[in-house]
Structure 1
């Protein structure tokens, strides 16, 4: 075997097509985060993205996309944003991990959403990733949801009718390409991050640019998909995700909190399910994580793994000392509701406090300008 490490932009059309072919050889359900278009889009915005091209007998047998950080620490492309990670390999290909890492200039490759059948000896934990499985057809899913989450289904339909009466006719637009509509959604999402004490991803310009760039991509095998629900002419909820030809990956859902009493997020998700099914989507991957709306909507689960690929180097040892205990503590909290609820409450209180402080600082700056004037 031979490994050549290149920048994503150096891949030619033939190599990108080989990547797509290898993806489909492993499963008919192709997660868009594993498509070459996603790695190339991130690579245009980040200088640390690389792809290991793996050859066997003079033919390409796989691709390993990664980010290379200081001290030989590697991460998946778009680390912290992606719900599917891993190598893209021809059937039967097995990689020697220390050799792979050395060829890539890495001591460690850390993952948290790895395709669960890859590198099993290096998994530290496995986690469910809820999905909406539409392989039995849309009607089959809706029948199943009414059976398992009938109260949610009925209350969402009732609130949608009420929204139409009180605010304006409800409509759903799928595959919206308007950049202004995307900015509205990202504004809602930033507000949600701040309210809940989370780091605002869209405070990082490259992530905003990435989403804007992906909105403009629309090919049969990969696209950015924005959909919005309107009441009258006012947008109230939306979602931006990625799709292959068979899988829609949930990514950034958000809504206008002034309409929270109508459950706009659930209205939007059910409308999105119907539109996606009509366009041939077989699975909507809601992503790893405990969220109430995911529990209400899911009718199946995938599995993703967390862990590290390593080779014996001082950097790998230092990384273990710093990262592994933190991840272990985080997973302990996430897997125990009696710990997760108070932790989530503390984050929301922190977000509220930061919002109050920002408001006071803004008022103080405004007051100073008034005095000077």
Structure 2
């Protein structure tokens, strides 16, 4: 098998067409994070992005998008921002993962949201988890009816708070796809505030991420949805769309309206908007499991782990990253630990705020 390493912008029209063909024919590859648009977009702002193009018998058999850092340490494209990762290839492709890394000039490839069924990386899984998916294939009415049956308390709470929001503030309206840059600026400000309040790293403090999100919004790959009550913007969501699949990405809300659970109202309205726009599923990503249980229709099995070759860079990466990854994984897998860690981070954020 011949493997060629290229920059995303060097991919030709035939290669992009083949990439999309593979996405259409393989389960779960249709996710926006695995689309050429995502890799091309990140490649505009990150010079470290590369794509390994594997050819077999004169035909492209696989695409392996990745980022190459110092000392040959590799990550999925947009690592830390993506909720699904992997190689774009037929499910039965047999490719030696370490040989692939050697061709890419990588000593290690670290992953945390890998499609678990992919054969080349199966020996390197450290742990498997699941990501919830909203199933809108039968339309919104069927989705809501199933939610009403499976999570009646959650559904009743959302609808009650939606009515109360309308009575207290103004008529509740939902715009599925806003093209207004001001709406996007507001969402990023809300999200930055949330990161600060909860002690998380503010992703929008990184200029390249701001530029990336604006690029996806301008090109239509990103869909910005806004919930309003009267004239007041209450919550918003920025997701990525690839055909009939949406990947949830950045939800946020105005804390003045927190008592109305605007995020949950927004998610239900997002489901309705997606169904009306021909989207059949919304990948919700990992984390916040209790909130997402009421919305999910199925799950994607994902894996966390690393592929490594015997290099100095791989050894250094193991020392630095492995203990932290294991601790994070333990927290995500245990709801009690997750809640405790969340409280600790919020307390830290409040203390940090008082000392400024």
- Compute the TM-score of the two structures, normalised by the length of structure 2: 0.96
Q: In 2, distance between residues paired with 1:45 and 1:328?
A: 30
Q: Is contact 1:29–1:246 with CA below 8 Å preserved after alignment? A: no
The equivalent residue for 1:285 is 283
Deviation at 1:155, TM superposition (A): 2.0
**1:237-248 superposed matches below 5 A:** 237-248=235-246
Compute the displacement of 1:121 (Å): 0.8
Q: Secondary structure at the match of 1:51?
A: strand
* Cα offsets for 1:79-110 (capped at 9, x unmatched): 00001111111453211112111110001000
| Higher mean displacement: 204-213 or 82-91 | 82-91
Following the alignment from structure 1 to structure 2, what is the Cα–Cα distance between the partners of residues 327 and 64? 23
Match of 2:195 among 179, 193, 196: 193
Quote the Cα distance in structure 1 between the aligned partners of 2:114 and 2:28.
18
What is aligned with 1:167? 169
Q: Is the 8 A contact 1:2 1:55 kept in 2?
A: yes
Aligned to 1:320, the other structure's residue is in SS state helix
Is the Cα contact below 8 Å between 1:241 and 1:250 reproduced in 2? yes
Match of 1:151 among 146, 153, 156: 153
* Pairing 1:127–2:129 present: yes
Q: How far apart are residue 290 of structure 1 and its match?
A: 3.1
In 2, the alpha carbon distance for the partners of 1:268 and 1:340 equals 23
Tell me the distance in 1 between the aligned counterparts of 2:153 and 2:92: 46
More deviation in 201-210 or 337-346? 337-346
The SS at the match of 1:343 is helix
Q: Which residue among 214, 217, 220 is the counterpart of 1:215? A: 217
* Structure 1 Cα separation of the partners of residues 252 and 283 of structure 2: 16
How many residues align structurally?
A: 354
Paired with 2:270 and 2:7, the residues of 1 have a C-alpha distance of 35
CA distance change for structure 1 residues 53 and 244 in 2, over 3 Å: closer, same or farther?
same
Per the alignment, do residues 91 and 165 of structure 1 end up closer, same or farther by CA in structure 2, a change over 3 Å counting? closer
CA–CA separation in structure 2 for the residues paired with 1:177 and 1:109? 37
Partners of 2:28 and 2:108 in 1: CA distance:
30
- Superposed structure 1 runs of 4+ greater than 6 Å apart: none
1:333, 1:305 → 2: CA distance? 16
* Secondary structure of 1:50's aligned partner: strand
* Distance (whole Å) between structure 2 residues aligned to residue 29 and residue 54 of structure 1: 17
2: CA distance, partners of 1:25 / 1:296 = 29
SS of 2:170 mapped into structure 1 = coil
> Contact conserved, 1:241 with 1:251, CA < 8 A, in 2?
yes
TM-score by length of 1: 0.92
**CA 1:91–1:291 in structure 2 vs 1: closer, same or farther (change >3 Å)?**
closer
The answer on whether the counterparts of 2:53 and 2:62 sit within 8 Å (CA) in structure 1 is yes
1:366 maps to: none
Partner residue in 2 for 1:368: none
Answering whether residue 74 of structure 2 is matched by residue 80 of structure 1, we say no
3-state SS, counterpart of residue 44 of structure 1: helix
1:335-371, CA deviations, whole angstroms, 9 ceiling, x for partnerless residues? 223322222111001111222333xxxxxxxxxxxxx
User: What's the secondary structure of 2:45's corresponding residue?
Assistant: coil
**Structure 2 CA distance for aligned equivalents of residues 165 and 248 of structure 1:** 31
Alignment of 1:347-366 (within 5 A): 347-358=345-356
Paired position in structure 2 for 1:97: 97
SS of 1:238's equivalent in the other structure is strand
- CA-atom RMSD, angstroms? 1.4
Structure 1 unaligned runs (5+)? 359-373
> Residues 91 and 341 of structure 1: is their aligned pair in 2 closer, same or farther, counting only changes over 3 Å?
closer
Does the 8 Å CA contact 1:130/1:302 hold for their aligned counterparts? yes
C-alpha contact 2:29 2:88 (8 A) present in aligned 1: no
Query: Take 2:159 and 2:336, find their aligned partners in 1: how far apart are those partners?
Result: 32
State which drifts further: 335-344 or 14-23: 335-344
- Counterpart pick for 1:306 among 304, 307, 315: 304
| Cα distance in structure 2, aligned partners of 1:233 and 1:292 | 31
